[in-house]
Chain A
Amino acid sequence: EAQVTQNPRYLITVTGKKLTVTCSQNMNHEYMSWYRQDPGLGLRQIYYSMNVEVTDKGDVPEGYKVSRKEKRNFPLILESPSPNQTSLYFCASSPVGRLGISPHLQQYFGPGTRLTVT
């Protein structure tokens, strides 16, 4: 089954303890992205990757890191989580990553990771 998977689905942690949320897709998509969803704010993009070893900042990158060493994986890293990073996080992937074609035109979302930082 074609899908985007995220792990863990739920995580409660403490301030300052490094964590990684994994994202994997089995559709051979070039483009991958991370969003956070907060009540009343909708979804905001954190980081995105047009292809392996190519990453760029989205709208709210502060406090986050990403890496794209393989096409299928795009982990989100919080080196020193803070309570304001408590949120619902979505990973997404898209088959469209070539220049001139927006990757947003056919985006597949993962099930979400609910993170609580105390």
Chain B
Amino acid sequence: AQSVTQPDIHITVSEGASLELRCNYSYGATPYLFWYVQSPGQGLQLLLKYFSGDTLVQGIKGFEAEFKRSQSSFNLRKPSVHWSDAAEYFCAVVYGGSQGNLIFGKGTKLSVKP
């Protein structure tokens, strides 16, 4: 079955440190890939998405993600984390081409130490 895996349930980083959140998908063809962020008490906000082309995608708030076909991964990165980045992050995938359903990972909660 198609799935999205976020291996880390909870990550804590120090403010100013770099961040990488992992996301792996199971699918033969290249899916559409997304990262969403959910701040406490807030809805979901789209950080970035990958459909095709350049495998390094720039998003909002200084985030980027790299699609690696060989590893079936779409990891989210930020070079220097700010306290306001503390939130829950969801990787999501659309399988099956343009009519596919959106499948979310279980989320990674990010805590930021001062």
Contact = CB atoms under 8 A, between A and B. Distances in A.
Interface in A21-64: 40-45, 58-59
B8 to A, nearest CB: 13
* Band of interface residues on B: 20 to 34
10 contacts: A40-B9, A42-B107, A58-B101, A92-B44, A99-B99, A100-B99, A101-B98, A102-B94, A107-B102, A109-B44
Contact of B102 (A41, A104, A110, A111): A104
Interface of A: 4, 40-45, 58-59, 90, 92, 99-102, 104-107, 109-112
Interface of B: 4, 9, 32, 34, 36, 42-46, 49, 51, 90, 92, 94, 97-102, 104-107
B98 A100 contact: yes
B66 to A, nearest CB: 20
Contacts of A101: 98
A116 to B, nearest CB: 15
Contacts of B102: 45, 104, 107
The 3 A-B pairs with the shortest beta carbon distances in the complex, nearest first, are A42-B104, A104-B102, A109-B44
B43 A110 contact: yes
A117 to B, nearest CB: 20
B46 A105 contact: no
Contacts of A109: 36, 43-45
